[in-house]
A and B are shown apart, each in its own frame.
Chain A
């Protein structure tokens, strides 16, 4: 049996027996077969000595069992790694950052505790998936939408805590921002509630985020300070109609004005759907076959623009979308066209009003139903057909946050293209700038993982170099796979790593034995920092 680092086999056996007395022996897993789900299916360290492997897994049924497990773990100094459903593939999955940790699997805690249609909010446990919440709303006939990522099989809480994003209205696309109130079990087993929930019998826990005093919820995002056992979310009151239109512009430099206009529309609440930018000449774009004769990303801008003009395709497009009442969204689309018509040669297509919820025939053929808050797994039917990578090995993603300006996009892609080429990174997908969060873009640079340790080693080396180069130019990662979490944290180095030192101070105070999620997002407990140094 594998044991946690620094824990004797007999102490570990004793801890497991005590865990079993809390959760039941059927919910303590130690065999290789039972621990297989807790391997990271996309690990860049697959089958290598450094692959992050759990020593055991424990699946409590409720917050009280979580408290009991944490008290035992704290007493015995057993490292635990809480997961909700462990579906953040590419960012670690269900595997712990510290090998030998006991995965605290919260999937059995899948209760939707309270849902309030009038105030459009919900209180859930960590095991509730987007499918669960969607089903609950449908079954109850509630006039509410969820905002889900793609794929939608993960945990509502887990995705929010890992800073995930969605595709509907901008107030709900940032899943952490859309939360309201938490219940957290600390390392010593104590339970706390944040916001209004700190008041016994609070009547507004899911309506008011801030309560009284310092706002601490952010300490539990991408965190190792506690086990979130309940979390509230604001839901989207179902809109009456949806409009999507596409703005096209003919020149590369038009992106500067186009982004500014979209930002203005978003920030004045005239357009709240997710803007989707695209350009056929982006370097290493999505692996879609290009028409013969189309200039490559390396061709001159003049050649690219001439090709676009000759073939009557825009150089850049942005799909904009609107949710709400028909009178409102029609006016918003007209307003958008007026604002963008200042760009010479701008074209406008679409704008049909679709009543919500969409009818089955309207959904048919759509690869993603996420813009309508409908969870799906269809995205896996793309990757599996890729000729560019082995679908059985997965991918890792470099995810820099870049400015929401046309100039910012241009500079970022030039740097990325140059760096990827020089480092020979095995990029399979480089996305257009993604506007799921207000005020910034994120660009996803997806790289193939293989089952060849030597190739993976080269990729890791190049990935780390890429992270440093991006950081040198001011582009930070918003999350990353466990193999690179220390590297990314090292780039947030202002004032001699003041932020990291603050995290460590808080970690040592809240979790003095360092038992929760050691190393997660580059924050290590004192005893392991001393060991590393």
Chain B
């Protein structure tokens, strides 16, 4: 694994995340939304230190512009890219990170006319993970939530986050997973930030 944050290509991501997330069955409703998702116009943010973050990136990368790697701090991403880019081009951004990077990007995005279209809080609760998901109702379904129940939950969170780009209405669900909480992170967040309006219409 590279030791410093930067821009990785797909090969790096796969090496970092392993092939563990490959071949996971995708729930049908998310599959439909996934298929309808616009391609290659979102940026991925992933944290090199967090396995779940790398797994999210592996799953979401095929439709992404690229991955911006961080180590808990989005200063470089903000200063070198988004601060200027979001004035001219409100590119969507997605990822699975600690709460801090998400919080910064959420606040900065709201200042520039973007919104959080999907937010999954994955909180360690003893030996389990408690998933609290906010997203469009046609994405955050019982079937989709059930797929969060195993070790491949980051990949499912990625599918739901990316699929949220095509839906508008928000709903909220609570789901207690049976996943083993193996990582040291007490709270992780999967998210999709996207333009509030596209061509004058709420995206």
Contacts and interface: CB of A to CB of B under 8 A. Distances in A.
Interface residues of B, number: 24
B72 A381 contact: yes
A380 B187 contact: no
B100 A107 contact: no
B75 A378 contact: yes
A36 B3 CA distance: 37
B115 interface: yes
B115 A33 contact: yes
Given A33-B196, A391-B99, A41 B107 contact: yes
A463 interface: no
Interface in A371-388: 375-378, 380-385, 387
Interface string A351-384: 0000000000000100000000001111011111
B180 interface: no
B115 A391 contact: no
A377 B75 contact: yes
B46 to A, nearest CB: 15
B110 A37 contact: yes
Interface string B81-113: 001000000000000001111011001101100
A85 interface: yes
A384 B102 CA distance: 10
A28 B75 CA distance: 30
A377 B98 contact: no
Interface of A is mostly: loop
Interface string B186-199: 11000000001000
Contacts of A33: 115, 196
A349 interface: no
Contacts, number: 67
A437 interface: no
Contacts of B103: 41, 380, 384, 391-392
Contact of A381 (B4, B78, B100, B111): B100
Nearest to A386: B186
A209 to B, nearest CB: 31
Nearest to B202: A33
B125 to A, nearest CB: 13
Nearest to B200: A26
B68 to A, nearest CB: 14
A316 interface: no
A127 to B, nearest CB: 9
Contacts of A41: 103, 107
B29 interface: no
B107 A378 contact: no
Nearest to B132: A392
A323 B4 CA distance: 29
Interface string B172-192: 000000000000011100000
Contacts of B104: 151, 153, 377, 380
B164 interface: no
B100 A383 contact: yes
Contact of B99 (A107, A131, A376, A392): A392
A330 interface: no
28 contacts: A34-B196, A41-B103, A107-B111, A131-B83, A135-B79, A135-B83, A153-B78, A153-B104, A153-B108, A375-B75, A376-B75, A377-B73, A377-B74, A377-B75, A377-B104, A378-B75, A380-B73, A381-B72, A381-B100, A381-B101, A384-B100, A384-B187, A385-B100, A387-B186, A391-B99, A391-B100, A392-B99, A392-B187
Given A381-B98, A382-B100, A391-B187, 19 more contacts: A33-B115, A37-B111, A87-B107, A151-B104, A153-B78, A364-B4, A375-B75, A376-B75, A377-B78, A380-B100, A380-B101, A381-B73, A384-B99, A384-B100, A385-B100, A385-B186, A391-B100, A392-B99, A392-B103
Interface of B: 4, 72-75, 78-79, 83, 98-101, 103-104, 107-108, 110-111, 115, 121, 185-187, 196
Interface of A: 33-34, 36-37, 41, 85, 87, 107, 131, 135, 151, 153, 364, 375-378, 380-385, 387, 391-392
Q: Identify the 8 closest CB pairs spanning chains A and B, nearest first.
A: A384-B100, A381-B72, A380-B100, A37-B110, A378-B73, A384-B99, A384-B98, A391-B99
